[in-house]
């Protein structure tokens, strides 16, 4: 049995192929229902599109990439498969927002600075830098195509004027430096102004080179390339709180890297059985604890979470804690093991809780209680009757992500029909909102949406049979300290802001 799948649209872990067993400081005040989940509390700040190849050419002609006319990026309506956004991530200050797409490109948006004349523009983001992070490759030994799609982006804390981020596709992780340059040296002795070497015989005087102002340029340069360490597809990367190491996880292994060493990594988790026919689960996501550099968690396709401590042993084949919720026998079905597979796992900012997302629910776990989650939120329980058709069109294998707000009081995750859901942990209220191009006027207030299941449908409701499963919100991000969210829908990036923010 081979884990690598040649079908690009189907995830590596496929029930039909593998058998029936698969499956801080400074944070804002807690978000009240009125401020976080209340009706009409969120407004659209702007809608951005990942630049296509055509717009990238126009960007190269404009030296100052921060002053690009973004009307073209927002208004053109065509998109290719390569333009679909595959990951979204705020940096630690929230001033920058990075997106990766299936074409291997990284687009960084920068927040507009507030001015006295245009106070409302404070929440807007415009293109800051665009660069090609990964290229398509071909493994000749395994006859395997390696896609250029960006699976994850993770920012490093800013230490100087430059920014650093990690980006990964299925096989290779790269460390990028993004820096600004607004001065250039002039007055070389051995080179002329065109950069060509001068004839030494013509050099009669010694000049001191000087720095001259120039139009601002944003440069992205690869500083490290971490390759050849994963046999299977990388599904997640996580930066450690010591900021010296990070880990990368694939379907069967998790590797620990040092930022300064690119030619070797340390394998800290290996669940590959001696006989691949005995394989019963795969790793789906992994993340470091936000404060303890020795602790991390990883989730599996069986719906379990393992907490590991690297101080216990070099190879963390024995977990410290094991989180699993017993299945209700009354809800047992053919699809139970598929929908229980965890697609995302996130530590809370405080480090006390773990949030997991499976196909139908979001669960919050307390690190001190392993037998069941302390909170369970139904994302789209109305799809339970549609699992058969979702299985046929492969939507049941979609991997939804989930995020915390800055104070860990509200959680957000995506759904179908370009819906995304917010759950207030304090009031237990929730809301369904839509990232729609039809309602993409700036400063427009979002109206809560409701899905009707059978019976009479009200005017403002949408029938579950009318949902568009080709429109899905898989990737979202929440500003680390403010009520600003980013929602990716195909090649559209929506920025929403709390109206009282």
Give the CATH number of the domain where residue 284 resides.
2.130.10.10
Q: What angle do CA 375, 387, 357 make, to 5 degrees?
A: 30
Q: What is the pLDDT of residues 92-116, one digit of tens each?
A: 999 999 999 999 999 999 998 766 5
**Domain membership of residue 482 as a residue range:** 42-48+79-179+226-498
401 in a domain, yes or no? yes
Domain count across the chain = 1
What is the rounded distance in angstroms from the CA atom of residue 256 to the CA atom of residue 29? 35
205 in a domain, yes or no? no
Give the torsion sign (CA, 175, 248, 411, 308): negative
Average per-residue pLDDT for the chain? 84
65 in a domain, yes or no? no
Region 281-307: mean pLDDT is 97
pTM, whole model, 2 decimals?
0.83
184 in a domain, yes or no? no
What is the rounded distance in angstroms from the CA atom of residue 230 to the CA atom of residue 233? 7
Beta strands in 141-209 (DSSP E): 144-146, 152-155, 163-168, 173-186
118 in a domain, yes or no? yes
336 in a domain, yes or no? yes
Q: What is the pLDDT of residues 417-431, one digit of tens each?
A: 999 999 999 999 999
142 in a domain, yes or no? yes
What is the rounded distance in angstroms from the CA atom of residue 425 to the CA atom of residue 32? 9
Q: What angle do CA 428, 411, 130 make, to 5 degrees?
A: 160
265 in a domain, yes or no? yes
Residue 38 has pLDDT above 70, yes or no: no
Region 189-205: mean pLDDT is 81
């Amino acid at each position: 049995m081979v884990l690598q799948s040649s079908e690009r649209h189907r995830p590596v872990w496929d029930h039909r192929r593998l058998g029936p067993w698969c499956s801080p400081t400074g944070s804002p005040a807690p978000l009240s229902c009125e401020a976080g989940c209340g009706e009409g509390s969120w407004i659209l700040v702007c809608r951005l599109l990942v630049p296509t190849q055509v717009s990238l050419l126009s960007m190269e002609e404009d030296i100052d990439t921060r002053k690009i006319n973004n009307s073209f990026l927002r208004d053109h309506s065509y998109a290719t498969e390569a333009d679909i956004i595959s990951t979204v991530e705020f940096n630690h200050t929230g001033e920058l927002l990075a997106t990766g797409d299936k074409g291997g490109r990284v687009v960084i948006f920068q927040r507009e600075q507030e001015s006295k004349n245009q106070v409302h523009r404070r929440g807007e983001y415009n293109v800051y830098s665009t660069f090609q992070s990964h290229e398509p490759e071909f493994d000749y030994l395994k006859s395997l195509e390696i896609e250029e799609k960006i699976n994850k982006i993770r920012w490093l804390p800013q230490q100087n004027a430059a920014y650093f981020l990690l980006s990964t596709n299925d096989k290779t992780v790269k460390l990028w430096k993004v820096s600004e340059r607004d001065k250039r040296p002039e007055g070389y002795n051995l080179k002329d102004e065109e950069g060509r070497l001068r004839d030494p015989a013509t050099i009669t005087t010694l000049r001191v080179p000087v720095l001259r102002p120039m139009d601002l340029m944003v440069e992205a340069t690869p500083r490290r390339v971490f390759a050849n360490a994963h046999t299977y597809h990388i599904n997640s990367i996580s930066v450690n709180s010591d900021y010296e190491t990070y880990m990368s996880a694939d379907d069967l292994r998790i590797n620990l890297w040092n930022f300064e060493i690119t030619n070797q990594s340390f394998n800290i988790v290996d669940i590959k059985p001696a006989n691949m026919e005995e394989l019963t689960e795969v790793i789906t996501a992994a993340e470091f604890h936000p404060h303890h550099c020795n602790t991390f968690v990883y989730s599996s396709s069986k719906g379990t979470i393992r907490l590991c401590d690297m101080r216990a042993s070099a190879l963390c084949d024995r977990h410290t804690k094991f989180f699993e919720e017993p299945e209700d026998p009354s809800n047992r079905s053919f699809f139970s093991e598929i929908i229980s597979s965890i697609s995302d796992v996130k530590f809370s900012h405080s480090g006390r809780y773990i949030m997991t997302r499976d196909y139908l629910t979001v669960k919050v776990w307390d690190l001190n209680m392993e037998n069941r989650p302390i909170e369970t939120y139904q994302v789209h329980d109305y799809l339970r009757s549609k699992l058969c058709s979702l299985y046929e069109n492969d939507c049941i294998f979609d991997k939804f992500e989930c995020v915390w707000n800055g104070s860990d009081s509200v959680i957000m995750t995506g759904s179908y029909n370009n819906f995304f859901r917010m759950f207030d942990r304090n009031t237990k209220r929730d809301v369904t909102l839509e990232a729609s191009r039809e309602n993409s006027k700036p400063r427009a207030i979002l109206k809560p949406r409701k899905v009707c299941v059978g019976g009479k449908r009200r005017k403002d409701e949408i029938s579950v049979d009318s949902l568009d499963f080709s429109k899905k919100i898989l990737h979202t991000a929440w500003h680390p300290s403010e009520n600003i969210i980013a929602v990716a829908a195909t090649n559209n990036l929506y920025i929403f802001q709390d109206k009282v923010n």
